[in-house]
Amino acid sequence: MKSAMVFLVIFLTQSTLRAENLRTGLAENPSEKNISLLVGPSATLSGIDLDISMVKEMLTHPGYNFQINVLRKETATLENVQSRLTQYASEVGQNGTLLFYFSGHGSDDATLAMYKTPPYVQSMHIKQIRKAIEDGRKTLGPLKRLVLLIDACYSGSLIPDIHSREAQEENQKQADAIAENIIAALQPETKSAAYYDKLVVFVSSRSDQTSAASPNGSYFTQGLSKAFKEAIVKKSTIGEFIAKTKQSLPSPIHNPVEYLSPQDLANELMLP
């Protein structure tokens, strides 16, 4: 009887550990239906196709098994992005993840530039992104995990702007101030209308900074790719992945900002 109880305890412990290991990195559960939308509206910025390719490589890793959807150039209109976000939010599995990646122009008025013919741009505010996802989850309850990766100039301004006085403070204090407010921009109208359980946001720059690129793609996305490949080998946590991405970027050109909710997501492994 005693040996049977010991076996049961070991079995339950191992089962719990296996269940916990499923909740890793950019996807809540690799066995669930995880959906991503990768958006690159600009027809003039070089390297966006390379950015999309690098993120695709990350998300098709068997540890994630994301369904990949891409809106590029003339297909990346405001209307298309909104409708796709709503559609995919409604199709994500019960314990799945929705991931949104953007590479392109950003503005210091807290918007991203979407394509509009003939070739103009149409601005999309973070609140419109939130609304589109909320609409997809109205009758389904919150997403288990929502991930936003934004590679754009002034991407820190997707949260409430940092005023000029604060912009003169040291970089780390400014980054911390942005991180504290990211959640506010994505907060649902009421607690009962919550549209995610867990949130991972990682943006390429502060609200007062532009983002740079090379012929090999944007520096931030290159950093994501490099840190991800290292995470595979070293079994890095989310926190270590974020730190490694930051370390790989030219400073002071880039000061990426992250927000994790809950904060202990930083201790999760990037991959099983």
Residue 13 is encoded by which pair of tokens?
Answer: 């412990």
Q: Is 159 helix (H, G, I), strand (E, B) or coil?
A: coil
At 12 the pLDDT is 38
Q: What is the mean pLDDT of residues 40-65?
A: 88
Rounded CA-CA distance 176/120 in Å is 34
Does residue 178 register a pLDDT over 60? no
Does residue 202 register a pLDDT over 70? yes
Residue 27 is encoded by which pair of tokens?
Answer: 């996807």
Rounded CA-CA distance 226/81 in Å is 28
270 versus 216: the higher-pLDDT residue is 270
Q: Is 124 helix (H, G, I), strand (E, B) or coil?
A: strand
Burial 79-109 (b: 16+ CB within 10 A, else e): ebbbebbbebbbebeebbbbbbbbbbbbbbe
Under CATH, which architecture does the 35-267 domain have?
3-Layer(aba) Sandwich (3.40)
Does residue 192 register a pLDDT over 70? no
Rounded CA-CA distance 169/177 in Å is 10
Rounded CA-CA distance 211/257 in Å is 13
Q: Cα-flanking dihedrals φ and ψ of residue 152, to 5°?
A: -155, 155
Rounded CA-CA distance 22/145 in Å is 13
At 183 the pLDDT is 55
At 109 the pLDDT is 60
At 174 the pLDDT is 45
Q: pLDDT tier at 256 (50, 70, 90 boundaries)?
A: confident
Residue 50 is encoded by which pair of tokens?
Answer: 């390379």
Q: pTM of the full predicted structure? A: 0.81
